[in-house]
Amino acid sequence: MKNTFLQPKTALITGAAKGIGRAAVLRLAEDGFNVVINYRSSAKEATGLSRLLARRGKEHLLFRADITDMEEVKKMIKRISERFGSLDVLVNNAALNYTQSLSELTVRNYDRILDTNLRSAALLTKSSLPLLKKSSAPRIIFITSETAFRGSGHRVAYVVSKSGLVGLTRALALELASKNILVNAVVPDCIKSDMFLKFSVEPIKNRLRNVPLGRLGKPEEVAAVIAFLASDDSSFITGQCIHVNGGTFFA
């Protein structure tokens, strides 16, 4: 869905070097957005993505920042302001995951997952608000997980963090509605990404038996929903969780 902006709009995508984040960058760039590629450790992949956008003539900013470090977040927001003047779409995608039972889970790992997946998403959103308020059509999009709705054994910290994003989506949608800032969540499951393939508790074949559409989803299919929520077509949608899962939530 092409957007016809009088002025180019800007989207910040966290954890953008790979998987769903990378697909979102490419889709939003094609839809006419200036895109900010945030990454922490995947420098090779992020640099490759930047080069790809440059070859396609897409305006973008590559910025390394650990989103759990508020000083680095402030520097990133300042750079976005200097480069683009405002921020129209914030896609909170960055996430960590560990497969550990509660008895195995360390306090350090629990804190790291909640810091990355939940706390940093809330604080980055707070830091982004002054720029978002300058936009004529601001959007905040959280990438959560089907595990927030159905649970998942041996991933308690991940489930807690993603469940928190659902609550954050609903709370901020109400709080920010008067500012015309739309807040929604995308809920992927069974998407062919590094995280799913690495951390799926059940073998992939067993998971596919429970997917009514009978296949894994593509990151590009999640990116299409992100693009819809970032577009003018979503102007009366806020506080919603859109499931992208091949029907698994209803199986």
Closest CA to 46 of 18, 69, 85: 18
Residue 25 CA to residue 11 CA, distance in Å, equals: 8
* Catalytic (active site) residue 158: yes
Question: Tokens 């869905």 label which residue?
Answer: 1
Query: 7 CB contacts (<8 Å, ≥6 apart)?
Result: none
Residue 101 CA to residue 38 CA, distance in Å, equals: 31
H/E stretch holding 148: helix 147-150
Q: Secondary structure of the chain: what % helix, strand, coil (to 5)?
A: 50, 15, 35
CB neighbourhood size of 162 (10 A): 26
CB neighbourhood size of 83 (10 A): 14
DSSP states of 37-59 as a string? Answer: EEESS-HHHHHHHHHHHHHTT--
Annotated catalytic residues are: 158
